């Protein structure tokens, strides 16, 4: 992490994006902070400047390829060499297949998956040209577990994992590291814009966020350590690592247990709300 002196981060206006920016911020570091909400990006920039970093803000909608290309041009202008690209911007949407509105699928795909594709498409040639660097793509353990009634979110995050694995193989010869971050729930502002299928689903998500075992800062620290080590996968929570191992060893039992547990939790939540 101490070798990172320039970085571009999307979704830097809050949550994990802000935590990553603050972890990187120190004298001598230059950051380009992208967020769709300019005031939030500006607030993160001020916090980073208070730690001695040079921070620039770019209002960017990652679902728009042209805006991400403009972000690349701005990075050329204010950073020059780019040590780290963080594709972090993301949203949440839940719902069962066949029930979740297609508009929600299109919305979440445009940000969570296409946003990362755009970031990799724009910045990978720049990293290759300069002869090295690192990419941190933010996925989720949801892309591994694929829990019921979370299909839109699961699919985008599984796509980010596949994209990262492919990219890692393609750029290894160019001395570019690729890390994909797969945390479970932790406290962020993700629920502010989430498109949730039901009140019961929202209550379950709120409970999962509230009971998280790690903070955004701790997840950010784990992610940057993984980048420094050159790890492809970063699963910062113990439960995520255990889940991944169980799924690989006993996939059928894993999915049956996951489905049963989900139904039980939803039944308990409905009973609680009806009480």
Cα 58 from Cα 77, distance rounded (Å): 12
pLDDT for 252: 79
249 Cα distance to chain centroid: 26
Cα 123 from Cα 145, distance rounded (Å): 29
Least confident range of 88-97, 122-131, 201-210, 249-258: 201-210
Cα 218 from Cα 213, distance rounded (Å): 10
Band (247; pLDDT cuts 50, 70, 90): confident
* 200 Cβ contact partners less than 8 Å away, ≥ 6 residues apart: 266, 269, 270, 273
Yes or no: say if 38 and 59 are a contact pair by the CB < 8 Å rule.
Answer: yes
Percent of the chain at pLDDT exceeding 70: 85
Cα 165 from Cα 33, distance rounded (Å): 25
Band (21; pLDDT cuts 50, 70, 90): very high
Helices (H), 51-99: 65-78
Yes or no: say if 126 and 75 are a contact pair by the CB < 8 Å rule.
Answer: yes
Yes or no: say if 98 and 74 are a contact pair by the CB < 8 Å rule.
Answer: no
* pLDDT tens column, 83-135: 999 999 999 998 989 999 999 999 999 999 999 999 999 999 999 999 999 99
Cα 241 from Cα 85, distance rounded (Å): 25
Q: Please compute the mean of the pLDDT values over residues 48-74 and round it to a whole number.
A: 98
Least confident range of 27-36, 163-172, 187-196, 210-219: 187-196
Band (226; pLDDT cuts 50, 70, 90): very high
pLDDT for 149: 86
Residue 241 or residue 42, greater confidence: 42
Report the DSSP pairing between strands 84-87 and 54-59.
unpaired
**b/e burial code for range 71-91 (CB count within 10 A of at least 16 → b):** bbebbeebbeebbbbbbbbbb
Strand partners, 6: 30
Listed residue (50, 46, 163) closest to 116, CA to CA: 163
Q: Please compute the mean of the pLDDT values over residues 197-220 and round it to a whole number.
A: 72
pLDDT for 242: 79
* pLDDT tens column, 141-179: 999 988 888 899 999 999 999 999 999 999 999 999 999
Q: CATH says 6-238 is which class?
A: alpha beta
pLDDT for 200: 62
Percent of the chain at pLDDT exceeding 90: 70
Yes or no: say if 117 and 163 are a contact pair by the CB < 8 Å rule.
Answer: yes
pTM of the model: 0.88
What 3-state DSSP class applies to 84? Answer: strand
What 3-state DSSP class applies to 58? Answer: strand
What does the domain layout of the chain look like in residue ranges?
Answer: 6-238
Yes or no: say if 31 and 56 are a contact pair by the CB < 8 Å rule.
Answer: yes
pLDDT for 195: 81
Write out the catalytic residue numbers: 153
| Residue 163 in tokens | 């994209």
Q: Please compute the mean of the pLDDT values over residues 16-35 and round it to a whole number.
A: 98
What 3-state DSSP class applies to 147? Answer: coil
pLDDT for 274: 62
Give the chain's mean pLDDT: 89
pLDDT for 238: 84
């Amino acid at each position: 992490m101490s070798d990172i002196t320039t970085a571009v981060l999307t979704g830097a206006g809050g949550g994990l994006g802000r935590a990553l920016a603050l972890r990187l911020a120190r004298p001598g570091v230059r950051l380009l902070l992208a967020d769709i909400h300019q005031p939030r990006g500006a607030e993160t920039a001020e916090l980073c400047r208070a730690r001695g970093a040079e921070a620039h803000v770019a209002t960017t909608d990652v679902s728009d390829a042209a805006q991400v290309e403009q972000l690349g041009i701005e990075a050329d202008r204010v950073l020059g060499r780019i040590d780290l690209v963080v594709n972090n911007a993301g949203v949440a949407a839940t719902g069962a297949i066949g029930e979740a509105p297609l508009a929600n699928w299109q919305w979440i795909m445009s940000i969570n998956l296409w946003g990362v594709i755009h970031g990799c498409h724009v910045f990978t040639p720049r990293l290759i040209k300069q002869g090295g660097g690192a990419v941190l793509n933010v996925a989720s353990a949801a892309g591994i577990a694929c829990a019921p009634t979370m299909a839109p979110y699961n699919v985008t995050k599984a796509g980010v994992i596949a994209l990262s694995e492919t990219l890692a193989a393609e750029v290894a010869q160019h001395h570019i590291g690729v890390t994909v971050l797969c945390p479970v729930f932790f406290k962020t502002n993700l629920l502010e814009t989430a498109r949730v299928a039901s009140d019961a689903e929202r209550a379950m998500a709120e409970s999962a966020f509230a009971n998280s075992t790690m903070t955004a800062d701790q997840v950010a620290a784990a992610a940057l350590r993984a980048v420094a080590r050159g790890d492809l996968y970063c699963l910062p929570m113990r439960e995520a690592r255990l889940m991944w191992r169980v799924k690989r060893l006993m996939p059928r039992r894993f999915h049956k247990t996951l489905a049963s547990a989900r139904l039980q939790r939803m039944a308990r939540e409905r009973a609680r709300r009806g009480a």
